[in-house]
Structure 1
Amino acid sequence: MRVYIITLSDKGYTNEREDVSGKVICEMVTEKGYTIVNYIILPDERDLIANTLKEICDKNEADLILTTGGTGLSKRDVTPQATKDVVEYEVPGIAEAMRYNSLQITKRAMLSRSIAGVRNTTLIINLPGSPKAVKENLEFIIDELSHGIDILKGSASECARK
């Protein structure tokens, strides 16, 4: 599986803050055998984020895009809006599962606006910005992602558990 990692952070983009969350994602997906095709940091700019997501999907550069950051309540947190601008349909179960799992750890998980959706044959998932939350959320969903992507790509046809 080809993975594109995007960190959304004004401070990360200007090198005012080290991007630990993106590195956590890189380590976790590599351990699972995924191939990282690119890893970038962008500022919290809705149009830039949306255009980048659209370009990656439309050029079929990745099977999975994992974003980190921009899912909170501040005015600059626009990742979910940018993602909604480009997805053809949402996959609400992924975000619901992440929030449910996170609520077992902290009630602040209810403040996350992460979404997941599909454009063409690419799955896009918004992860939180905190390294701890990224690790907890990705650990919870990562083992099921390959099956979902196989279904999306048409290389698997059965969803029933064996």
Structure 2
Amino acid sequence: MTASAHVLTVSDRSARGEREDAAGPVAVAALREAGWECPDARIVADGAEVVEAALRDAVAAGARLVVTTGGTGVGPRDRTPEGTTAVIDREVPGIAEELRRRGLAETPSAILTRGVAGVVGESLVVNLPGSPRAVASGMPVIIGVAGHVLSQLGGGDH
């Protein structure tokens, strides 16, 4: 796969420089290893409007796949799913369901993730939790289906 991917790390603390981004680099490394062109992760603060703007920027920059890490929980500032829903045209719930299923096999708290997945134009957007372990577990799912999704979005056969 030689398409462009972007990773957005959604974290108030990382955006303020108080905590190193540990999850974004895991996603970037997985994408690059799978053959995707992917710049380093972009760190943005929590909040639906910030996430929405960053997703729109990534798609406008040509990203065919955008993976977010963080902001999918139930905390007051965890609004990544809301920002994502404002951008996507159609949800692809099976991806988010499988990510939750795999996460639940590792930790009971995975059931609390509210991440979504969907398409906007000819791009796929997927939310992952902010833990490096959840990202490492989820990236094979995303990489495994992303090429097929993009082919279908481009008019390819099922």
User: What is the number of residues matched between the two proteins?
Assistant: 156
Matches within 5 A, 1:14-25: 14-25=16-27
Partner SS for 1:86: coil
TM-score by length of 2: 0.93
Matches within 5 A, 1:1-162: 1-37=3-39, 39-57=41-59, 59=60, 61-154=62-155, 156-157=156-157, 159=158
In the alignment, the residues of structure 2 paired with residue 141 and residue 53 of structure 1 have an alpha-carbon distance, to the nearest angstrom, of 17
Alpha-carbon deviations, 1:55-107, whole Å to 9, x = none?
A: 332x2511000000000010010000100111111000000011111122222
In the alignment, the residues of structure 2 paired with residue 115 and residue 127 of structure 1 have an alpha-carbon distance, to the nearest angstrom, of 8
Could you tell me which runs of 5 or more consecutive residues in structure 1 were left unpaired when the two chains were aligned: none
In the alignment, the residues of structure 2 paired with residue 52 and residue 30 of structure 1 have an alpha-carbon distance, to the nearest angstrom, of 21
Structure exhibiting the larger radius of gyration computed from Cα positions: 1
Could you tell me which runs of 5 or more consecutive residues in structure 2 were left unpaired when the two chains were aligned: none
Contact in 2 for aligned 1:9/1:41 (Cα 8 Å) = yes
Q: Which moved more, 1:21-30 or 1:45-54?
A: 45-54
Deviation at 1:112, TM superposition (A): 0.6
Partner SS for 1:36: coil
